[in-house]
A = this chain, B = another copy of it.
């Protein structure tokens, strides 16, 4: 099922991730949670949160004079869709080449590799059970 919310832009994604992280947050809380050096105005954050709600990703609820935003779509779902779109556009929809790229070109440490191997073992167990 290809749910059709309008896609998130980069900056919108940045803000959404902060809300997900805080679970619920006001404009000010998001503003305060921005990383050092990311200097944007209160009003700008406000705009992004409003747009995120308009696009269907967040919902808001009044608390006193402030709006408290929370996720409306599960973060994992959004991540999933976003990754899928990315893989589609850059790797013809094939996950494997991207995984290979990540493993060999973006820094994976030995311990990461061990962890991956473990995951692969588990996964294969499950798969053969299903097959």
Q: Which residues of A contact B (CB under 8 A)?
A: 10, 13-14, 17, 79-80, 82-84, 86-87, 89-90, 95-96, 98-108, 110, 112-113, 115-117, 119-120, 123-124, 127-128, 131
Assuming the contacts A110-B128, A128-B110, A131-B110, asked whether A104 and B123 have C-beta atoms less than 8 A apart, the reply is yes
Instruction: Say how many copies of this protein the assembly contains.
Output: 2
A-B contact pairs, 12 of them (CB 8 A): A80-B101, A80-B105, A83-B105, A96-B115, A103-B123, A104-B119, A110-B127, A110-B131, A113-B120, A113-B124, A116-B120, A117-B120
Assuming the contacts A113-B123, A119-B104, A124-B113, asked whether A90 and B96 have C-beta atoms less than 8 A apart, the reply is no
